[in-house]
Amino acid sequence: MPPLARWLARRLALTLFVLWGTATLAFAGMRLVPGDPAHVIAGGVQANATPEVLETIRAQYGLHDPLPVQYAIFIGRLVRADLGESYQLNQPVSTVVLEQLGATVSLAAGAAVLGFTLALVLALLTAGRPRAGALTRALEFCAISTPNFWIGILLLGAFSFSLNWFPVLGEDGPRALVLPWITLALPIAGVLAQITREGLERALGQPFTLTARSRGATENRIRLRHALRHAALPVLTLSGWALGELLAGVVVVETVFARQGLGQVVVSAVNGRDFPVVTGVVVLAALTFSVINTGLDLLYRVVDPRVRQAAL
């Protein structure tokens, strides 16, 4: 087998393992809930479900079966991409997730683009320039330490309520996406800019920079063509983390801006203990994250030829 195929096969196995583990933890969680799962499905103990209703629920969800059987059925369905049915919404989980996926993806993707662009521009402009670097470093430190829901609330208060530049509610077309994008992008841009600048400054101090300079390359060409490629490696390493932060931020930012999306779905599912939905979203997040990390590792090999030879 060619090395790349072997490497990909190993990554696929790892992804499947992580998905299995996530699903198993979620299943264990579902059964660890104090009290009777049938009560949870019926809407909590306060819902005063009659014994007959509880009995129907138990039969419907297979709660009479021994645990290993329930687990086998659960995994078997998952393999066929059947995430079960939401307790609260009486809809298949996959329908609920697919309906909301678009809103969340457009939010996260736009924020990722904005965050990476901002980080790159800031780092390229300030690397090797101590005074500008110190100022942006301080700003970056603020961006990292600020919870993004506070950034969101402040932006909303200033630009939507006071200045009326952007719509107050989340669903009014592309203009409503601007503030959520900024909110999500700022913290990750802070971290990524720091790492990129460090990498750039390290690369600018290396002999190859001096060689390029002595051959008459312009400052811009040195930064863009020579130094950036070296700075890209640690950024790639952190990108997985940054995208994870983004996914996590989506949950909170959707609440701040009252937007529809997976974050809203998962929060109300957690509140209502709607386990199939929680499980579905968590498994989907684990899958997304694994795919992203595999893609990043592939990119690593493109950017750094040394990795291609070593560590297959």
Partner 1 sequence: MTAPALARPYRKVRPGLWAAWAFLALVCCAALFPALFAGAPDQVDATAVLRGPGAGHPFGTDQLGRDILARVVYGARASLFVGLGSTLLAGAVGSAWGLLAALGGRAVGEAAMRLADILLAFPGILTALLVVAVLGPGTRNATLAITIALAPGFARIVRVQALVVRDSAYVRAAINLGLRPWRILRRHIVPNVLAPLLILATLNVGTAIIAGASLSFLGLGPRPPAPEWGSMLAQARNYLDVSWTLALFPGAAITLTVMSATAAGRALQARYERREP
Compute, in degrees rounded to 10, the torsion defined by CA atoms 298, 301, 304, 305.
Answer: -160
Coil, helix or strand at residue 38: helix
Among 57-65, 84-92, 118-126, 263-271, which window interacts with partner 1 (CB under 8 A)? 263-271
What's the CA gap between 260 and 178, in Å, rounded?
Answer: 15
Give me the helix-helix angle, 275-303 and 262-271, nearest 10°: 140
What's the CA gap between 133 and 285, in Å, rounded?
Answer: 36
Single residue of 108, 252, 259, 276 touching partner 1 by CB under 8 A = 252
Q: Looking only at residues 144 through 173 of this chain, which bind partner 1 when binding is defined by CB under 8 A?
A: 144-147, 149-150, 153-154, 156-158, 160-162, 168
Q: Looking only at residues 281 through 300 of this chain, which bind partner 1 when binding is defined by CB under 8 A?
A: 281-282, 285-286, 289-290
What's the CA gap between 144 and 159, in Å, rounded?
Answer: 22
Residue 18 lies near partner 1 (rule: CB under 8 A): yes
Distance of CA 165 to the CA centre of its chain: 28
Q: Alpha-carbon torsion 88, 91, 93, 98, what sign?
A: negative
Nearer to partner 1, 153 or 212 (CB): 153
Residue 124 lies near partner 1 (rule: CB under 8 A): no
Among 20-28, 57-65, 87-95, 296-304, which window interacts with partner 1 (CB under 8 A)? 20-28
What type of residue is 138?
A
Residue 22 lies near partner 1 (rule: CB under 8 A): yes
Nearer to partner 1, 31 or 225 (CB): 31
Compute, in degrees rounded to 10, the torsion defined by CA atoms 226, 230, 231, 232.
Answer: 110
Helices (H), 128-177: 130-145, 148-155
Among 25-33, 85-93, 108-116, 224-232, which window interacts with partner 1 (CB under 8 A)? 25-33
Nearer to partner 1, 7 or 159 (CB): 159
Q: Is 307 left (phi over 0), alpha (psi -120 to 50) or beta?
A: alpha
Residue 17 lies near partner 1 (rule: CB under 8 A): yes
Residue 269 lies near partner 1 (rule: CB under 8 A): yes
Binding site for partner 1 (CB under 8 A): 17-18, 21-22, 25-26, 29-30, 32-33, 141-142, 144-147, 149-150, 153-154, 156-158, 160-162, 168, 244-245, 247-248, 251-252, 255-256, 266-267, 269-271, 273, 275, 278, 281-282, 285-286, 289-290
